[in-house]
Chains A and B, each alone.
Chain A
Amino acid sequence: MEKVSLRDAYGDTLVELGREDERIVVLDADLSGSTKTAKFAKVFPERFFNMGIAEINMMNVAAGLAVSGKIPFVSTFAIFGTGRAWEAVRQTICYPNLNVKIVCSHGGITVGEDGASHQALEDVAVMRSIPNMRVIVPADDIETKQVIRKVAYTEGPFYVRLSREKFPRIFDESYKFEIGKGHVLREGEDVTVISNGVMSSFALLAAEILEKEGISVEVIHMPTVKPIDVELVVKSASKTGAVVTAEEHSVVGGLGSAVAEVLVENYPVPMERLGTPDVFGLSGKGWDLLHYFKLDENGIIEKVKKVLARKK
């Protein structure tokens, strides 16, 4: 699969949005080169605000802009946007339900060499915990573009988590993203794998390998972690009777937890969660780290076999 940059897709889409709607403004915290908001800054310097290394204030300023009729996109690394600024996001953006779009790059373990301090493995969990906040983790550039367009013109706060690494492209132009809807990438009978971000490409790989072993895997890409697609999760679980989740995030509080909540409350089946265990990350090359933490097709295959053994 061709590898593509989600960050670049974000930057390009911002420029398109900037052309079509004057209300679009962009804020960054001294990382515009990395988050790719610099693309917007270059074309629309008047509507770009570099807030410096001051993320809490950046969120508050975005709230002030939103309440004044602007559509602010706020970007920095995921760990700072969701960690350092969490309380500002909660108090000043989500509590008044303001129209602020937080799009953070450098989410997950694939941040790589910068190591544990910069790897956001909790961001989905903490953003998911705030009322009014919606959380989206796209898989490739095609989906990212659609996500950014959709959140720009959907009222209310959003958190969109992007990566630093290029990810394999899994969609073509026929794909249609919808907020709160999962997408069946592949139908199957024996087990359901629910994934997002880079893990959706690994889920497809794992399904191909398992098919050769006679195991039929249903693969669901779940970009919106909140609100999660309850209907699709239950429908697939009731068909296959076993579920594995896979995410580039801690197993605590992210997609796996969200799916577990849905199953326990609606249709309990054996379930396994793949993610980073409850530990901090390490320095290393992004893709090496994925394999190190078994966040790949082999990790998914292992979990599938484990859940199938429990299913019997």
Chain B
Amino acid sequence: MIRFEPSFFLERNREIDDVTLRAIAREVRKDILKMTTAVNSGHPGGSMSAADILVTLYYYKMRHNPENPKWEKRDRFVLSKGHSSPALYSVLARTGYFPLEKLKEFRVLEGDLQGHPSMLTTPGVEISTGSLGHGIGAAVGMALALKLDRSDSRVYCMIGDGEAQEGSVWEAAMAASHYNLDNLCVILDNNNLQIDGPVDEVMSIYPTVEKWKAFGWHVIEINGHDFKEIRNALDEADTVKYKPTMIIAKTVKGKGVSFMENRAEWHGKALPPDLLREALKELGEVT
């Protein structure tokens, strides 16, 4: 298991190579599948597509303190697409917010890991999310507060592509550029699948680059599974002045397991135990 001292996370842009990030992401993917299968519930597909970005944020980019989740100087992360909670919980556990053992409490009665992130029960969760279209607005509020306090902390937020159909996402987009929130960086997990099928068939959100640019954002397009591109985009966002940054990350739903990739059916369905064994084998788990 790959472990770091809690102090490792206190500064931004830490030295960590892509091979290590990839290895961590593989562990996170295994966690996601195990957690959801254990309770036969949850959203593995979008958690898998988000995994590489979350790992890069928590292991490379964000300044945070697993020993003191409310540390004043921390950067904030809001998982607006709250159904990808397994990915977040795994990353929080692996960076030291709580023991890995706790992942067993996912979606279990009286467990601390609610189906969708709850700030009241899970350390490291900045604000409760789950209903789509709200987290990005809360991230705007956090960014405004940090500006008022003249803090150099940054706010990161991940939204889903299906989520971008919510009007409140665009209300938040408008507000973020209106208030010149250059301390806000939003990542669009663009796996192009939602429960009912492809995003462009259910309700197209495209063209995304033009839309976000028109809303006054600095827009970067990347492959959301290429660690170099994720890193570079996050670094570029640091340098942008007077504008929020939108990173449109092309991703693959179910990424990492051949029979899950690009299949809408794994949006909100756990793998049955036999398929879990197969998936874990693909992810390199020795059984």
Per-position 1/0 for B93-134, Cβ under 8 A of A: 000000000000000000000000011100000111111011
> CB within 8 A of A67: which of B119, B130, B149?
B119
Beyond A54-B174, A88-B137, A92-B138, whether A64 also contacts B145 by CB under 8 A is yes
Stretch touching chain B among A44-52, A173-181, A219-227, A279-287: A44-52
**Least CB separation from B145: chain A residue:** A68
Beyond A60-B134, A88-B137, A96-B118, whether A67 also contacts B144 by CB under 8 A is no
Nearest chain A CB to B57 CB, angstrom units? 18
> CB within 8 A of B138: which of A25, A46, A54, A63?
A63
**Least CB separation from B155: chain A residue:** A64
Beyond A56-B168, A70-B145, A70-B148, whether A64 also contacts B137 by CB under 8 A is yes
Which residues of chain B come closer than 8 Å to A70, judged between CB atoms?
145, 148
| Residue tally, chain B, CB below 8 Å to A | 33
Give A108 to B140 CA distance when docked, in angstroms.
Answer: 32
Question: Are A88 and B120 in contact, CB atoms less than 8 angstroms apart?
Answer: no
Give A66 to B142 CA distance when docked, in angstroms.
Answer: 8
Which residues of chain A come closer than 8 Å to B141, judged between CB atoms?
60-68, 72
Question: Are B144 and A95 in contact, CB atoms less than 8 angstroms apart?
Answer: no
Give A99 to B236 CA distance when docked, in angstroms.
Answer: 34
Interface size class of A (residues with CB under 8 A): 20 to 34
Question: Are B171 and A68 in contact, CB atoms less than 8 angstroms apart?
Answer: no
A91 adjacent to chain B (CB < 8 Å): yes
A69 adjacent to chain B (CB < 8 Å): yes
**Least CB separation from B169: chain A residue:** A57
**Least CB separation from B78: chain A residue:** A64
Which residues of chain A come closer than 8 Å to B120, judged between CB atoms?
96-97
Question: Are A88 and B168 in contact, CB atoms less than 8 angstroms apart?
Answer: yes
A87 adjacent to chain B (CB < 8 Å): yes
Question: Are B175 and A54 in contact, CB atoms less than 8 angstroms apart?
Answer: yes
Give A49 to B179 CA distance when docked, in angstroms.
Answer: 9
Nearest chain B CB to A75 CB, angstrom units? 16
**Least CB separation from A60: chain B residue:** B137
Give A46 to B148 CA distance when docked, in angstroms.
Answer: 8
Give A87 to B133 CA distance when docked, in angstroms.
Answer: 11
**Least CB separation from A51: chain B residue:** B175
Question: Are B142 and A64 in contact, CB atoms less than 8 angstroms apart?
Answer: yes
Beyond A87-B131, A92-B128, whether A60 also contacts B142 by CB under 8 A is no
Which residues of chain B come closer than 8 Å to A25, judged between CB atoms?
148
Which residues of chain A come closer than 8 Å to B140, judged between CB atoms?
57, 60-61, 64
Per-position 1/0 for A68-105, Cβ under 8 A of B: 11101000000000000001100110011100000000
Which residues of chain A come closer than 8 Å to B128, judged between CB atoms?
91-92, 95-96
Per-position 1/0 for B216-237, Cβ under 8 A of A: 0000000000000000000000
- Greatest chain A CB density within 10 A among B140, B141, B142, B167 is at B141
Question: Are A64 and B143 in contact, CB atoms less than 8 angstroms apart?
Answer: yes
> CB within 8 A of B174: which of A52, A66, A88, A95?
A52
- Greatest chain B CB density within 10 A among A54, A60, A87 is at A60
Which residues of chain A come closer than 8 Å to B139, judged between CB atoms?
64
Give A215 to B139 CA distance when docked, in angstroms.
Answer: 58
B276 adjacent to chain A (CB < 8 Å): no
For chain A, what secondary structure do more than half of its interface residues adopt (helix, strand, loop), or is it mixed? Answer: helix
- Greatest chain A CB density within 10 A among B127, B136, B149, B174 is at B127
Beyond A57-B140, A57-B171, A96-B120, whether A88 also contacts B148 by CB under 8 A is no
Which residues of chain B come closer than 8 Å to A91, judged between CB atoms?
128-131, 134
B172 adjacent to chain A (CB < 8 Å): yes
Question: Are B126 and A57 in contact, CB atoms less than 8 angstroms apart?
Answer: no
> CB within 8 A of A96: which of B119, B144, B145, B174?
B119
**Least CB separation from A54: chain B residue:** B171
B205 adjacent to chain A (CB < 8 Å): no
Which residues of chain B come closer than 8 Å to A61, judged between CB atoms?
137-138, 140-141, 144, 172, 175
> CB within 8 A of A57: which of B119, B143, B175?
B175
B146 adjacent to chain A (CB < 8 Å): yes
- Greatest chain A CB density within 10 A among B118, B140, B149 is at B140
> CB within 8 A of B142: which of A51, A57, A68, A88?
A68
Per-position 1/0 for B62-96, Cβ under 8 A of A: 00000000000000000000000000000000000
Which residues of chain A come closer than 8 Å to B148, judged between CB atoms?
25, 46-47, 70
Question: Are A96 and B175 in contact, CB atoms less than 8 angstroms apart?
Answer: no
Give A49 to B134 CA distance when docked, in angstroms.
Answer: 18
**Least CB separation from B151: chain A residue:** A68
Give A52 to B172 CA distance when docked, in angstroms.
Answer: 11
**Least CB separation from A100: chain B residue:** B141
* 10 nearest A-B residue pairs (beta carbon): A64-B141, A60-B137, A68-B145, A57-B171, A54-B171, A61-B141, A64-B138, A64-B142, A96-B128, A56-B168
- Residues in chain B within 8 A of chain A (CB atoms): 118-120, 126-131, 133-146, 148-149, 167-168, 171-172, 174-175, 178-179
Q: Can you name 12 extra interface pairs (CB under 8 A) apart from A63-B138, A64-B145, A96-B118? A: A47-B148, A54-B174, A60-B134, A60-B172, A65-B141, A67-B127, A68-B141, A72-B141, A91-B128, A91-B131, A92-B129, A95-B128
- Residues in chain A within 8 A of chain B (CB atoms): 25, 46-47, 49, 51-52, 54, 56-57, 59-70, 72, 87-88, 91-92, 95-97
11 A-B contact pairs sorted by A residue (CB < 8 Å): A52-B178, A54-B175, A57-B168, A57-B172, A60-B140, A66-B141, A67-B119, A68-B142, A91-B129, A91-B130, A92-B127
